[in-house]
Amino acid sequence: MLKLKRVELQGFKSFCERTELRFAGEGIAAIVGPNGCGKSNISDAISWVLGEQSAKTLRGTRMEDVIFAGTRERKPLGMAYVTMTLVDPDLYREPVGGSHARPVPVENTDRKKTGEVTIMRRLFRSGESEYLIDGRPARLRDIQDIFMGTGLGPESYAIIEQGRIGQILSSKPQDRRSVIEEAAGITRFKTRKRLAEAKLEGAKQNLARVYDILEEVTRQVNSLKRQASKARRYAELQSELEARLRVVLSGQYRLLERDAAKTAIDLNLASAELKSLGERVVEKEQAHERQQAACYDFEQQLTEARRQLAEMRVEAERTRGRLESQVKESGAIEQRMAQAENESRELGLRLGTLGREIAAQQKNVEVLEEQIGSRAAAWGRSTGSANRCRPGCSSASRPSNRDGS
């Protein structure tokens, strides 16, 4: 019978830090403390590491509730694990140093003979879960097989929470049967029986399928025989065909050899002809290049002639425009000359008239000059007589004739 030796917890419910509980393996171990200190969490941890899948049984709503959710002083953790170590007292003995000394197994050569079993369960906040037995990954079924019939299976009676005893006593005999069977140790055999029956049922189904396949194959034997004979006949014909094909191919190979020799001769002749043609092509290309150069020269000359012709045409257009403008100017000049002749004739007539008027005016001027001279002489005479007749006038007070006063 296995006995509990050590339980290690970290991140499980209220156990934030790594906590290790050691048990002597004999007698009764009691955990005391005030309400809310985490006594029930230890039993929940043992149930959880043994494979409990119901979050309600663990006093939670989800399986992630077993991970430490954090407080005001501590952050929540992302993983929870519980490690439980059990030993078989028949294979494991305590050293002289007492319970605090390290136990020494009877045999260290074989791990299976030490009587110590270590079970670990890890749960991550992402939902990933894993089981380990002695540090190696395992399945939940492996753990259930180890504890089946020991009172620590799915219908465990070794761990009883509050109200469990009353529920067992008040239940029907059929409901108490599972607990009694677990205590009697026959659950393991019933589970093995159920698995064996399932395997037998699967074997029966496979056997029935084999019979069906055998019956189907039996029906197909005749067709397979015919197909086999056809295959043998096909192989014979194939070998005969290959033999004849080798004869035909050998004959074709000889023909191809003769054709290849003839083709080689023709190729040599063609190569020589190609060489002569290449030389002629080179000569033609050189002649073509010379003609092309001459064409380029002619084209340049033609371009120059076209340019000169264009300039001459432009000059001719300009000359034609100047001639037209000169013709227009000459017409205008002729008109102006005709007008000038008319004006000159008119001016001649006016000159004659003006000459006659000038002659008449000159005569008038002469007449007027004579009149003025006669009047000036008369005025002078009258002035002189007046000065002589005035008494008391001295010669100094007389006005001078030179000054005209």
Q: What is the pLDDT of residues 225-276, one digit of tens each?
A: 888 899 999 999 999 999 999 999 999 999 999 999 999 999 999 999 999 9
How far apart CA 218 and CA 216 sit, in angstroms, is 5
Give the distance from CA 231 to its chain's centroid: 57
**pTM for this structure?**
0.43
Whether residue 120 contacts residue 40, with contact meaning beta carbons closer than 8 Å, is answered with no
3-147: what fold?
Rossmann fold (3.40.50)
- What does the DSSP assignment read for 267-325? HHHHHHHHHHHHHHHHHHHHHHHHHHHHHHHHHHHHHHHHHHHHHHHHHHHHHHHHHHH
Q: Within 10 A of 120 (CB to CB), how many other CB atoms are there? A: 19
For the chain, report the end-to-end CA distance as a whole number of angstroms.
186
pLDDT given at position 23: 84
Structure tokens at 208: 């029935």
Residue 83 three-state SS? strand
Q: Using CB atoms within 10 A of its CB, is residue 147 exposed (0-12), middle (13-18) or buried (19+)? A: buried
Confidence of residue 4 (pLDDT cuts 50, 70, 90): confident
Instruction: Say if strands 92-93 and 3-10 run parallel, antiparallel, or are unpaired.
Output: unpaired
What are the backbone dihedrals phi and psi of residue 35, each rounded to the nearest 5 degrees, phi first?
-65, 135
Q: What is the mean pLDDT of residues 50-78?
A: 86
Pick 6 or 398 by higher pLDDT: 6
Confidence of residue 216 (pLDDT cuts 50, 70, 90): confident
Q: Read off the pLDDT of residues 91-125 as tens digits, 9 standing for 90 and up.
A: 655 443 444 434 434 333 344 446 788 999 999 98
Q: What is the mean pLDDT of residues 36-55?
A: 84
Residue 226 three-state SS? helix
pLDDT given at position 240: 92
CA distances from 92 to 45, 100, 146, 151, 226 (A): 25, 15, 18, 21, 72
Q: For the chain, which residues make up each domain, given as ranges? A: 3-147
Q: Read off the pLDDT of residues 339-376 as tens digits, 9 standing for 90 and up.
A: 888 888 888 888 888 888 898 888 888 888 888 988 88
CA torsion through residues 31, 6, 186, 192, sign: positive
Give the distance from CA 260 to its chain's centroid: 59
Whether residue 185 contacts residue 149, with contact meaning beta carbons closer than 8 Å, is answered with yes
Q: What is the mean pLDDT of residues 135-157?
A: 72
Structure tokens at 86: 């059990």
